Amino acid sequence: MRAVAVVLAGSLVAGCAVPSYRIPASELARLAQLPPDARGERVRVVQEIVESDVPAAPPVTNETQVVLVPEVTIYGSAQPYRGGGRSGPGGKIGGPGKDNKAAAAAVLVLAATALVTAAAIEGSRFDGWARLHPMQPLHLIGKDGNYLVVPLAWIDPNTAAWTETAVVRSNEGPFLELDRAPLSRTGIAYGLYGGIGSLRSADGTTDVGPAWTVQLGVFPTEQIGILASVFFGWRNNQYDATLFETRTTAELQYLPLQVGILHGGLYGGVGFAHRFEDAIQVAGNRVIAGEDTSPAFAGGAMFQLDVNTRIALTARLGLSYAHDEQMRDALIGVSVY
């Protein structure tokens, strides 16, 4: 499975190297206010995942003169557009705890494969500022569905306001990537974190074991995120049987602090916890398993370190309360935005 993940990620990275870049609407409006011959000095672009389905335009070169008399080429209604933009005898005692641990391990393999794939895609595509020629062709999809292609120097505020999607191709003129944008969380967020967590057995003993959290959600702003969070944790109890814990919560994240590439904030969540423990009692030859469900509350501190515009290393130090007990966990992993 690990090899499959690597091959899949590698193939997606190779497929991600397309020459299409989207210019955000706010950037297009800003460029329309600049002198035409200075618009290409620093343009915010986001590389797309899939090649844009717009007609090819005649490329320009460094020697192309800047012409300020518009000769707009209009193609009428738009062509379809794809934006750029898942034990037996003699062994350890079995039971629901052990079965759920095995199921959680399978889920984590799938989650890790998805993380490698998402990180490969988002980490490889360029999201930042580039230098273009003022006569670089811009492919514009209007809010009315029409399509036109115009040089960057010819964009005016009315055209910028009319545009729904603006695409530039790096193979249609001089295109120099300058620098990447800082970490941007706005939009879909996905994370996988692993470490250790404490669990208390029904016999009262507390110890630590492997702990994992998988998250998927959205950041409506740079600092605030709303995510679905699933926690898995397990360890062996005194009978060498499995104690398994899962918590499913709705989580709110708030990350207001930033010092350079280091970010910090808090998180809190509420939901339900389920615990399965094998062999908590032994009466003669009978092995009795335990199961418990309760409300769950979680919270703690989180820290992030920028890797690039879409990826951050994330550490979480958390406290949880469920089954009338307090639990702790320390996790580290990767967040992809």
Q: Phi then psi for 223, rounded to 5 degrees?
A: -105, -20
Q: What is the pLDDT of residue 254?
A: 98
Residue 133 resides in a domain: yes
- Which CATH number does the domain housing residue 296 bear? 2.40.160.20
Same domain, 131 and 270: no
262-283 and 286-306 beta bridge pairing = antiparallel
As a whole number of angstroms, the distance between CA 225 and CA 314 comes to: 14
Distance between CA atoms of residues 246 and 269, nearest Å: 14
Residue in the block written with tokens 């993380």: 115
DSSP character string of 193-218: EEEEEEEE-TTS-EEEEEEEEEEEEE
Say yes or no: 173 and 30 in one domain. Answer: yes
Same structural domain for residues 202 and 141? no
Rg, Å, the chain Cα set? 26
Per the structure block, which two tokens stand in for 264?
A: 């910090």
Whether residues 142 and 247 share a domain: the answer is no
Instruction: Convert the pLDDT of each residue in 120-129 to its tens digit.
Output: 888 888 999 9
Can you give the pTM of this predicted structure? 0.72
Asked whether residue 197 falls in the same domain as residue 79, the answer is no
Structural domain ending residue among the three candidates 133, 151, 180 = 180
Backbone angles phi, psi at 303, to 5 degrees: -130, 145
Most confident of 63-72, 89-98, 208-217: 208-217
Residues 22 and 145 reside in one and the same domain: yes
Question: What pLDDT sits at residue 121?
Answer: 85
Q: 302: closest CA among 284, 287, 320, 317?
A: 317
Q: Does 11 map to a domain?
A: no
Shared-domain flag, residues 62 and 174 = yes
Same domain, 47 and 165: yes
**Burial grade of 155 (CB within 10 A; 0-12, 13-18, 19 or more):** buried
Do the Cβ atoms of 54 and 79 come closer than 8 Å? Answer: yes
- Tens digits of residue pLDDT in 221-233: 999 999 999 999 9
Q: Report residue 198 as tokens.
A: 């404490």
Q: Residue for token digits 């010819």?
A: 154
Q: How far is residue 194's CA from residue 207's CA, in Å, rounded to a whole number?
A: 17
More confident residue, 203 or 163: 163
Please give the average per-residue pLDDT across 17-25, as a whole number.
89
- Measured distance CA(289)–CA(202) in Å, rounded: 10
Whether 2 is covered by a domain: the verdict is no
Domain span at residue 279 reads 184-336
Least confident of 72-81, 170-179, 188-197: 72-81
Residues 155 and 72 placed together within one structural domain of the fold: yes
Same domain, 164 and 20: yes
Please, is 294 exposed, middle or buried when counting C-beta atoms within 10 Å of its C-beta (0-12, 13-18, 19+)? middle
191-to-181, 218, 231, 335 alpha-carbon distances in Å: 20, 11, 12, 4
**Which uninterrupted H or E stretch holds 85?**
none
Could you give the CA distance from residue 290 to residue 183 in angstroms, rounded to a whole number? 45
Q: Which of 34-43, 81-90, 114-123, 316-325 has the lowest mean pLDDT?
A: 81-90
Token pair for 209 = 């074991």
Of 180, 202, 228, the one marking the end of a domain is 180
CB 189 within 8 A of CB 216: yes
Once rounded to an integer, what is the mean pLDDT over residues 81-109?
Answer: 67
Is the pLDDT reported for residue 283 higher than 80? Answer: no
Neighbour-count burial of 21, counting CB atoms closer than 10 A to its CB (0-12 exposed, 13-18 middle, 19+ buried): buried
